[in-house]
Copies of this chain bind each other. A is one copy, B any other.
């Protein structure tokens, strides 16, 4: 089965859109999705951005909210911008990284996104995260301890370095086995098509 890496950041509104549809579209296409949590903060900081570009550039931020509202409405998804925006997704990302090792990353990530962008809840709050973990039949305190140990912290740092090396500069991003990068929820269909045809690449100029 062909594989497609789905790189997501919990603070990212467009990652929410993809998280809620990537598994269904991939199943239809016959592509296996590798859910890859990472942190955009260090990548943004390296290019001189202390926060989200949607805060740095207000016209872009206002547009993003309207763009997401329209797309969410068309897909029957709720959308509410959490306060503060962007949320601090570090602990959620560490938990997702643990969940990747343990096989529960996708349902966990979807529930985090739902809490954050459908309900406007604070995902830096351990109570929110504990509820989500419990809902998945996991032991929150055991998960928090495992997610905050040195191994997971190092793994998440290494993944973020890998994202940088792959050329990622935003989220969501999709990377095929042959290294093609696709950025944005609006490139998901194209990324899936490329994942399937990677042995007979389309010609480009």
Contact = CB atoms under 8 A, between A and B. Distances in A.
Contacts of A80: 205
B167 A69 contact: no
Contacts of A182: 67
A38 B69 CA distance: 27
B169 A73 contact: no
Interface in A68-122: 69-70, 72-74, 78-80
A85 to B, nearest CB: 16
Contact of A169 (B63, B168, B183, B190): B63
B202 A59 contact: no
A200 interface: no
B205 A60 contact: no
A182 B69 CA distance: 12
B167 A59 contact: yes
A149 interface: no
A205 B78 contact: yes
Contacts of A203: 73
A204 B59 contact: no
A186 interface: yes
B63 A167 contact: yes
B60 A181 contact: no
Interface string A46-59: 01000000001101
